[in-house]
Amino acid sequence: MTFGNRVNRLAIKGWVLVLVLSLAGPDVWSATVSRSTYRLLERVENLIEKSAYKEALGKLNAMLPKLDSDSLEKAVILRTIAFVHIEQGGYANAEKALEQCLAIDVLPDEQAAFSRLTLGEIYASTGKPEKAVTLLEEGLSRIRSPIGQHYLVLASVYYQLKQYEQAKFYMKKAVAGKGKPDETGYRMLLAIHYQLGDYKKAVQIATDLIERFPPNRDYWLQLIGLYQELDQYEKALAANEVAYSQGFIIEERHILNLANLMSYQETPYKAAELMMREIVADRVKGTSKNWERIANIWVLSREYDRAASALKKASVVDPTGEIAFKLGRIYVEQEKWKEAHAQLLTALQKGGLKKPGEAHLLFGMSCYELHFNDEARKSFVNAQQYSNTRKSGKQWVEYIDSER
């Protein structure tokens, strides 16, 4: 998962239906309903308190055919049915009931507004953000005192629609009344600022998430990614090392990112040791590519013997001669001619080299130092077949011929 996808996922995580329909609110009974309907609602309320949802729905559905199609009583019953379905997590049925309820268009203004908010939130949670925006905007415009949670839901919907400025506008309203947002609000703010490219602000929010709430691996990974977006690699490394010490850096790609940051910040020795330790722990695979990475890091540390050891392990699983070539080149730098000769010969025999001319040139040098002059001359002639080593190969051939 990419960093951007991680931010998107956390923006919606924990966002659940919160605008439930109230059976006990004063406005539910403000309009006149018949005595029989009133008593039915009382019985249903008692059943809901006992979590006897099936029985409650049975009584409510049995009442519907007895009511006029456009009556207030039917709207109240449908609204109550929706509430019971919400309590059970049956949002599809709740959606249908609320749509029928609002279609009657007889609820008092405040009840109708809250019903719109609830239906809008159901739409949002079931992948219908366009329909959700319309109802949520309508509902918010018709209630006297919207709460922060209403604005948070609308901000979430605009985020789903990738209308990030609108999402930011409503998130500001969501937090205005309570000073600081809760954890869900912080996550949403982080996601919005990331999408708007405001990485500096996103860093502040990610830091707040880490400081204010229980330890969370994703918050650390987000902070690390943001520092890297800002090219603040020293801070990215510091955050990464803290996260690693807390056990949050456990996936191979994140461990490799930490190793790369260590190398970039001129601590390659630590990077190589990290990778070797994680290969032993089986969190990093002992592939040819990873052993080659370790070897390259050891070369940066001028630990040539360790680099050679890593490349030997890499060459075992490398089907081409590329690793053997790199190992041979290290031996040439160390003037270990016998070892260089063996590895460069293996590289040339395996083939698949990115720089075959250089391999022939280095192999010729190892042959010459071991006094295999005929073999050396042949290798230098082969080096002349490649443009980048033609001149050097020719000079070596002339030099060997001059010694005869």
**Residues 173-201 pLDDT 10s:** 887 766 677 888 889 999 999 999 999 99
DSSP 168-226: HHHHHHHHHTTSS--HHHHHHHHHHHHHTT-HHHHHHHHHHHHHHSS--HHHHHHHHHH
Spatial contact of 362 and 330, defined as CB atoms under 8 Å apart:
no
Tokens representing residue 106 in the block? 């007889």
Q: In terms of DSSP H, where are the helices of 31-163?
A: 35-49, 53-63, 72-88, 91-104, 109-125, 129-142, 148-160
Q: What is the pLDDT of residue 274?
A: 95
Instruction: Report the phi/psi class of residue 352: left, alpha or beta, with left for phi > 0 and alpha for psi in -120 to 50.
Output: left
Of the candidates 124, 113, 61, 52, the one whose C-alpha atom is nearest the C-alpha of residue 88 is 52
Domain 250-317 falls under CATH 3.90.550.10: no
Q: What is the pLDDT of residue 178?
A: 62
Q: What is the pLDDT of residue 36?
A: 84
User: What value, to the nearest 5°, has the Cα angle with vertex 13 and ends 229 and 177?
Assistant: 90
Max distance between CA atoms of the chain, in angstroms, equals 122
Residues of the chain where predicted confidence (pLDDT) is lower than 50: 1, 3, 6-31
CA distance 358 to 139: 73
Please list, residue by residue across 78-117, b when 16 or more beta carbons sit within 10 angstroms of its beta carbon and e when fewer do: bbbbbbbbbeeebbebbbbbbebbbebebbeebbbbbbbb
CA distance 156 to 55: 35
Mean pLDDT estimate for the chain: 87
Topology of domain 318-404, per CATH? 1.25.40
Q: Which residues contact 308 (CB under 8 A, 6 or more apart)?
A: 295, 327, 330, 331, 334, 339
Q: Where in the chain is the domain with CATH 1.25.40.10?
A: 250-317, 318-404
Residue 177, Cβ density class (10 Å: 0-12 exposed, 13-18 middle, ≥19 buried): exposed
Q: What is the pLDDT of residue 343?
A: 92
Q: What is the CA radius of gyration of the chain?
A: 35
